Amino acid sequence: MKNEKAEEIFRKFLKEGNNRITPERFEVLEYALEYEGHFGADDLFILMKSSKSRVSRATVYNTLELLVQCELLSKRNFGDNISRYESNFKRQQHDHLICVECGEIVEFTDTRLLNIPESICKDLGFELDSYSFNIFARCKNRKNCKKHSNEKK
Amino acid sequence: MKNEKAEEIFRKFLKEGNNRITPERFEVLEYALEYEGHFGADDLFILMKSSKSRVSRATVYNTLELLVQCELLSKRNFGDNISRYESNFKRQQHDHLICVECGEIVEFTDTRLLNIPESICKDLGFELDSYSFNIFARCKNRKNCKKHSNEKK
DNA sequence: ATTGCTGCAAAACGTTTGCACCTAT
DNA sequence: ATAGGTGCAAACGTTTTGCAGCAAT
């Protein structure tokens, strides 16, 4: 179940930044890649704790930030003041629609968005780092809605 | 300096929702409309405290939420897990570019974005509530950058 | 009179930090 | 050897909550 390719990328990134290569960091990577969907740092910490893992909360927070830097993970904000992470690994670029009733998160890709951030940056004299585009909406068919377990937990 | 029109809208909204019309709520409204730029709930509370006001933190948080509901304010998230508010009153719709170096916030309007959220919702079978579009970027001209006082404070 | 709102303080929550120990280099 | 990472717990900053009193209806 281990992901050799991602480990390789992470190892290289750590080496280049003079960050130490520790087993704890790779343990966080492994759990993060296995996580289905979006997760908060604390969710991951609790999951790891409830498995056998002995990593500390500080290490989880720290490592997730490193994994964002080397682009193995993305950091998202869905408007509830919690940072969520998701694996970028082998996934295409996408954005999110969040149901304001039940918290369901739908991913979508819209080609119209591809060039907009870049061109706005150019216009304003900035260099693009990243962008976030979230749509907040309601299921038209409410039957669908409430039954989803809220991702906020 | 009081804004009759906004007060009118708020009063009507409160009445319709069977919320009580209290002086504290209008005091929060007044301070919120006068605030230049984006502010956190606690920023506003501290400002009000350091003026003569006697409103409580709970009331400020509660009232800001009401003001978002009646669309006098917008609630924003710039990726640092703090909710920021800004007046909608007499302002056109816009989005934000945030400098990842210094925290400067630049507002922009791009006509290409006008129909995208609506059409994505339609495609996915949702009813649009709102959207957020943030660009994170760096000043090309770094001289410009660092000198801005960071809005995060 | 009745509810809901208020102020206050304390709790909750996600996140960061300080410190002594440990470990990759 | 030494910088840097780790675990732990405590601190932090923002937001929410519980409760007794108060005020709008």
State the DSSP string of A121-143.
HHHHTEEEEEEEEEEEEEESSHH
What pLDDT does A153 receive? 33
Domain(s) of CATH 3.30.1490.190: residues in chain A: 92-153
Dump pLDDT digits (tens) for B87-101: 998 788 999 999 998
Does the beta carbon of A68 lie under 8 angstroms from any beta carbon of chain B? no
Neighboring chain B residues of A112 at a CB cutoff of 8 Å = 112, 116
Q: What is the CATH number of domain B92-153?
A: 3.30.1490.190
B42 touches strand D (CB under 7 A): yes
Quickly give B24 CA vs C2 C1' distance in Å.
21
C-alpha pair distances (Å), B130 with each of A106, B15, B85:
15, 24, 15
Residues of chain B with pLDDT > 70: what percent? 92
Nearest residue on chain B to A115, judged by CA atoms?
B112
Tell me the C-alpha to C-alpha distance, in Å, between residue B135 and each of B4, B12, B53, B91, B119. 35, 35, 36, 20, 21
pLDDT 10s digits, A65-102: 999 999 999 999 999 999 999 999 878 899 999 999 88
Hey, are the CB atoms on B126 and A139 less than 8 Å from each other?
yes
List, by residue range, all CATH 1.10.10.10 domains of chain A: 1-89
| Chain-chain contact of B137 with A128 (C-beta, under 8 angstroms) | yes
For the entire predicted model, the pTM comes to 0.89
**Fold classified for A1-89:** Arc Repressor Mutant, subunit A (1.10.10)
In this complex, do B124 and A106 lie within 8 Å of one another by their Cβ atoms?
yes
A107, A116, A118, A120, best to mutate vs chain B, most B CBs in 10 Å: A120
pLDDT (tens digit per residue) in B15-72: 999 999 999 999 999 999 999 999 999 999 999 999 999 999 999 999 999 999 999 9
Instruction: State how far the Cα of A1 lies from the Cα of A133, in Å rounded to an integer.
Output: 32
